[in-house]
């Protein structure tokens, strides 16, 4: 008889766990309080972003996730675009940081450190004035998050027989049992993968380990005449955000000090600026990072203005009209760890706290958890 598993949460972490469990032979049921995924899993760039992960385990996990996204997208017709990425330099200090990073990873990663002329040959969207050069990576893939996350449950049901229970609010979890308002379900293993909502199920574990991050993002209208961005673009501030670039050492430290002196508002609001393009031709732009246990639900217009103004310094595109803005909230671990794996009860596992890297890490992490 098959072993059974229940997954609480149908965002990207829950979807990844359900897939990995089903591949391992479990009969899987997924429960989500909403009618469809509405959280951080659809409020992002759609970037599968290995370049942001540190050497070794995390980069390998990201590349495993990338490969799984490619496999799934090809099987079920999810749009995906393996465009890669550019980190651009517009000052000597930004270029020095890229050079230091590249020297430490070039043996293990298929990156190219390019001068300004070579960058312009690979992208017609970069601002050329004051361009020093850039780091190109072929690893990064873009998916259209709202469409991809919406398509995955149907694919997982058809391929693996996974049952999805929508508008099913799990109010309590015990060993082998979840309780809804009017019924309960049993399974051999239970996985709690519902992002910030796990605060309501295991508040003491949540309070000890987790804070929340609010981010603000924007998107443009569909760009005219089928114009495409090509590689996703990042400004120099992104070098200060992703953990992978810490191995740039002294160059990164000097760059951070420079930004603290010249761009204090960007540092205060955790802003680094990137742009990708989805299947509909819209440009996805962001983002900011505000940390704390509770956030106001409203966007701050001045943050959006800071993001757009910085983007103008490194990206050109035909139509800058903003079609929508939004914010999202994800869990972030207080100790800086890359994920929270906890066992509050026998047979109950919490998988949470991927810190905004769910699209990049979830499929790989889920396979590693199940296979171990």
The CA–CA distances, whole Å, from 193 to 12, 198, 268, 330, 366 equal 9, 8, 30, 12, 11
> Checking DSSP bridges between strand 85-89 and strand 232-234, what pairing results, if any?
parallel
In tens, the pLDDT along 172-210 reads 999 999 999 999 999 999 999 999 999 999 999 999 999
Compute the distance between CA of residue 297 and CA of residue 168 in angstroms, rounded to an integer: 24
Compute the distance between CA of residue 271 and CA of residue 236 in angstroms, rounded to an integer: 11
Altogether, the residues listed in the chain come to a count of 372
Q: Which domain holds residue 53?
A: 4-371
At residue 372 the predicted structure's pLDDT band, cuts being 50, 70 and 90, is: confident
In tens, the pLDDT along 127-178 reads 999 999 999 999 999 999 999 999 999 999 999 999 999 999 999 999 999 9
- Look at residue 107 in the predicted model and tell me its pLDDT: 96
Q: Return the CATH number at 351.
A: 3.50.50.60
| Residues forming a β-bridge with 114 | 134
Structure tokens at 210: 């987790």
- Look at residue 1 in the predicted model and tell me its pLDDT: 79
- Look at residue 116 in the predicted model and tell me its pLDDT: 98
| The pLDDT of residue 342 is above 90 | yes
At residue 126 the predicted structure's pLDDT band, cuts being 50, 70 and 90, is: very high
Number of domains in the chain: 1
Distance between alpha carbon 238 and the CA centroid of its chain, in Å?
Answer: 14
């Amino acid at each position: 008889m098959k072993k059974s598993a229940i997954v609480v949460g149908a965002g990207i972490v829950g979807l990844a766990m359900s897939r990995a469990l089903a591949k391992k032979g479990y009969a899987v049921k997924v429960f989500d309080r909403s009618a469809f995924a509405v959280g951080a899993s659809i409020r992002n760039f759609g970037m599968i972003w290995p370049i942001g992960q540190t050497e070794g385990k995390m980069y390998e996990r990201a590349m495993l996730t990338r490969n799984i996204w490619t496999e799934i997208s090809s099987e079920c017709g999810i749009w995906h675009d393996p465009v890669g990425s550019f980190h651009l330099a517009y000052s000597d200090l930004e270029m020095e940081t890229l050079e230091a990073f590249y020297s430490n990873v070039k043996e293990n990663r298929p990156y190219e450190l390019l001068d300004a002329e070579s960058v312009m040959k690979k992208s017609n969207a970069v601002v050329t004035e004051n361009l020093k050069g850039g780091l190109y990576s072929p690893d990064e893939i873009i998916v259209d998050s709202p469409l991809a996350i919406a398509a995955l449950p149907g694919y997982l049901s058809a391929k693996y027989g996974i049952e999805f229970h929508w508008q099913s609010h799990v109010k309590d979890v015990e060993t082998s049992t979840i309780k809804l308002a009017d019924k309960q379900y049993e399974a051999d293993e239970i996985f709690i993968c519902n992002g910030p909502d796990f605060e309501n199920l295991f508040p003491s574990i949540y309070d000890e380990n987790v804070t929340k991050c609010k981010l603000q993002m924007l998107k443009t209208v569909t760009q005219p005449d089928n114009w495409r961005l090509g590689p996703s673009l990042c400004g120099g501030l992104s070098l200060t955000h992703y953990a992978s670039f810490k191995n740039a050492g002294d160059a990164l430290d000097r760059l951070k000090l420079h930004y603290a002196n010249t761009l204090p508002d960007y540092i205060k609001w955790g802003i680094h600026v990137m742009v990708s393009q989805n299947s509909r031709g819209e440009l996805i732009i962001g983002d900011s990072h505000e940390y704390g246990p509770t956030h106001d639900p409203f966007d701050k217009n001045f943050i959006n203005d800071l993001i757009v103004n910085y983007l103008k310094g490194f990206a050109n595109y035909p139509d800058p009209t903003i079609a929508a803005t939004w914010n999202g909230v994800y869990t972030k671990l207080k100790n800086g760890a890359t994920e929270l794996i906890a066992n509050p009860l026998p047979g109950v596992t919490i998988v949470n706290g991927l810190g905004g890297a769910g699209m990049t890490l979830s499929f790989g992490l889920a396979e590693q958890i199940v296979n171990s």
